[in-house]
Amino acid sequence: MLWPRVALAALAGLLAALPLTWATLALERVIVGSDAGAEALPEEQRVPPWKVPPRALALHGSLLVCGSVLLGALLFRSNWETWTQGLALFYVLYVLAAVDVRTLKVETGLVLLALLARLAWVVAAHRDQAAAALLGALAGAGLISLSGLVYQRLRGRQGMGEGDAALLALIGAFVGWQGILPALLVAAATGLVVGLAVLLALRKPLSTPLPFAPFLCVGGLAAYVAQQWAGTGLGGWPG
């Protein structure tokens, strides 16, 4: 049924708002503080680490609830395990994307922790899918590393870094190698459209660096939802 899933997704988003907002701000503090010292932190982050500014909680909470409801509705035909894993993937990707927007860095420690948890779950609960998950992770990391190398050779500067490679490895563990290229294509398309619109709106030069992790997250979730709608699951693709 659609509406019970939507209601539960909204509740999950509300419950996740406070801890995920805290985790996002904490990671931003660590990254920005390690790069330029505590004085470089934005004013709203110069608060005791156990406190969450109300404005940040309202912003992240609204986005988390809306995203949870949308994803919960899109996955309402899936079984409860797939539905729950989809929300868990969304919450991890949300934190990674939010941190990347503010810092232009992907927190590889969180990515690796989530990747190990995903592989451990697949091995424990669905051992027959372990090879597909592992192959997807390796394919994701390899493809984006190769893309970054080609970009660096052509443009003479670094494009996608190791954080993006680790992130696509995590996505690959959920969608298998078959979902990697569709996820990357969606990420590239949305990144091109949204990134160009943002640069034009802010009147920034086209060479201005933009975070790519949020678009990878969108592509990964789109690929995950497409697989569930088609009934292929991990290691398959519609068609």
SS (HEC) of 71-103: HHHHCCCCCHHHHHHHHHHHHHHHHHHHHHHHH
Q: Is 98 left (phi over 0), alpha (psi -120 to 50) or beta?
A: alpha
- pLDDT tens per residue, range 20-37: 999 999 998 888 765 544
The total number of residues written for the chain in this structure = 239
Higher pLDDT, 94 or 235: 94
The total of other beta-carbon atoms located within 10 Å of residue 37's CB is 9
**Lowest-confidence segment of 82-91, 148-157, 213-222 by average pLDDT:** 148-157
State the residue for tokens 């500067």.
157
Read off the amino acid at residue 4.
P
